[in-house]
Amino acid sequence: MFWINVGAQNESYLPNLDNYKDKKVYVFELKEEIFPAAWRKCKNALTEAQEAGSDVFLIEMNTYGGLVNIADSIRTALLKTPMTSMVLIDNNAASAGALISLACDSIFMVKGAQIGAATVVDAEGSQLPDKYQSYMRATMRSTAEVQGRDPLIAEAMVDDRIKIAGIIDTGKVLTFTSEEAFKHNFCDGIFDNAQDFLETLQPNTSNVQYYESNFMDKIMAWLLHPAVSGILLMLILGGIYFELQTPGIGFPLLVSIIAMVLYFAPNYVEGLAENWEILLFFLGLVLLALEIFVIPGFGITGILGIAFMISSLGLSLVGNQGFNFEWVSSASLIRAFGTVIISMALAIIAMFGLGGSLLNSPAFKKLSLETSLPSSNTLINKENYQQIGKTARTITDLRPSGIILLDNERVDAVTSGAFIPKNTTVNIVDFRENHFVVENNDAFS
């Protein structure tokens, strides 16, 4: 591990970087919140830099922080890398950004930049209980010790109870300006801007390589956007609903499956969706299917199925590790489940508002893959409408679709709402496409 010997002569903040003139430098920009997407890109950048034979891994940082567990993963990777790690703080290295900066072998800052304010807070900015602060204090302290920096100063960036004479009084969380950080060995040099630093570090541009976000990075960032997640949730729920309203397997089920893949896959890759959370969704789907197609009525199986599905969709949006929710704040859970519930509400509104017109639209008819049971001889002519008002008897359960016996003919039918069991007398209330719509006739047994 190489250390830069910084001697501030004549109040100069510019270090001697001549030892790096013949080194290969890899530049990774970390100018976003420290979320799973940032960790994914950082891992890719470290791998690419090592494979390219880079000597220096440089992070250009400007962040207000993010998730502690993600920052800790980046910290660990930087401490283990065989390359010399540097960070140039271009404006902000707050909270999780401060921890990542401390993990680097050398810290440089532009004029006016800041580092510190690493207190653990929730999504609303409220300070979390002391058990969270204790972990962050220890992590900041140990990281500073490894890199030869004052561990008490690092701890003061988390805990407002720490007093350091001449630096910070109690009641305040420590944040250094670039000049203060340089004075107390938390910065190894100050530059006017990022370009000046890079030209000083490595004037030969052929020895500088930049991490370039690929197509997958952009797709993942787009799919993980809360608005997109909400739309995918609506498509999942709406697709299941519309599929249950049409006989056979068709376009709604395909839409729902594609939306499930696009919803779970990015969250799984980014470490948000755990294996058990995805399995929980499909378990809920199976329970709901059992309730609809096997068990008469609607009871505990259906309720559990819906509960499992909602839980899975919500938990897939938070950064728990396995069954450990220690670092998941209540605000994060509320935000995640709020997204799911709002999406469900919008999906329900769309179901009732657009359901009938969509199912009967010409575009939907072309996309729907309609099938009928081999034993069914569906009547498809104008005489079907003359059957409205007649009674028939169900041959199969209607959940909501099935087969009825009408004038000794086996025909396709769907309910207008509730489940109707086998051997029930029903009224014909409508005819849509190739199936009758029926209601339970309580006057018959």
> pLDDT of 45-89, one tens digit each?
999 999 999 999 999 999 998 888 789 889 999 999 999 999 999
Work out the mean pLDDT of the chain and round it to a whole number: 81
Global pTM value? 0.64
Average pLDDT for residues 192-205, to the nearest whole number? 92
The answer to whether the CB of 371 falls within 8 A of the CB of 249 is yes
pLDDT at 176: 96
Q: Is the pLDDT of residue 310 over 70?
A: yes
Token pair of 148 as six digits: 């030869």
Residue 94 dihedral angles phi and psi, to the nearest 5°: -95, 150
How many CB atoms lie under 10 A from the CB of residue 289? 16
Mean pLDDT in residue range 222-247: 75
Residue 58: phi, psi to the nearest 5?
-105, 125
**Residue pointed to by tokens 């072309």:** 366
* pLDDT value for 181: 94
pLDDT bucket at 135, cuts 50 / 70 / 90: confident
pLDDT digits (tens, 9 = 90+) for 234-246: 888 777 777 665 5
Task: Report the distance separating Cα 342 and Cα 339, nearest Å.
Answer: 5
Range in 211-215, 325-329, 357-361 the model is least confident about? 357-361
> Percent of the chain at pLDDT above 90?
32
- Supply 340's token pair: 């799911």
Tokens found for residue 71: 């920052």
Its CATH architecture, for the domain 382-440, is Beta Barrel (2.40)
> Considering just the CA atoms, what is the radius of gyration of the chain in Å?
31
Question: Which fold, 16-213?
Answer: 2-enoyl-CoA Hydratase; Chain A, domain 1 (3.90.226)
Cα–Cα distance for residue pair 398/426, rounded to 1 Å: 11
Angle formed by the axes of helices 275-293 and 300-315, to 10°? Answer: 150
Q: 11-25, 128-142, 157-171, 278-292: which has the minimum mean pLDDT?
A: 11-25
Domain boundaries, the chain: 16-213, 217-367, 382-440
pLDDT of the residue at 371: 44
317 with 310: CB under 8 angstroms? no
Average pLDDT of 131-136? 83
Q: How many helices (H) and strands (E) does the chain have?
A: 14, 13
Q: Cα separation of 204 and 71, whole Å?
A: 32
Spatial contact of 71 and 34, defined as CB atoms under 8 Å apart: yes
pLDDT-based confidence at residue 106 (cuts at 50, 70, 90): very high
pLDDT of residue 248 exceeding 80, the answer is: no
Q: CB-based burial of residue 144 (10 Å sphere; 0-12 exposed, 13-18 middle, 19+ buried)?
A: buried
Q: What is the mean pLDDT of residues 305-324?
A: 81
Instruction: Please tell me if the domain spanning 16-213 has the same topology as the one spanning 382-440.
Output: no
Provide the token pair at 246: 């049409």
pLDDT at 172 over 80: yes
Structure token digits, residue 24:
């290969």
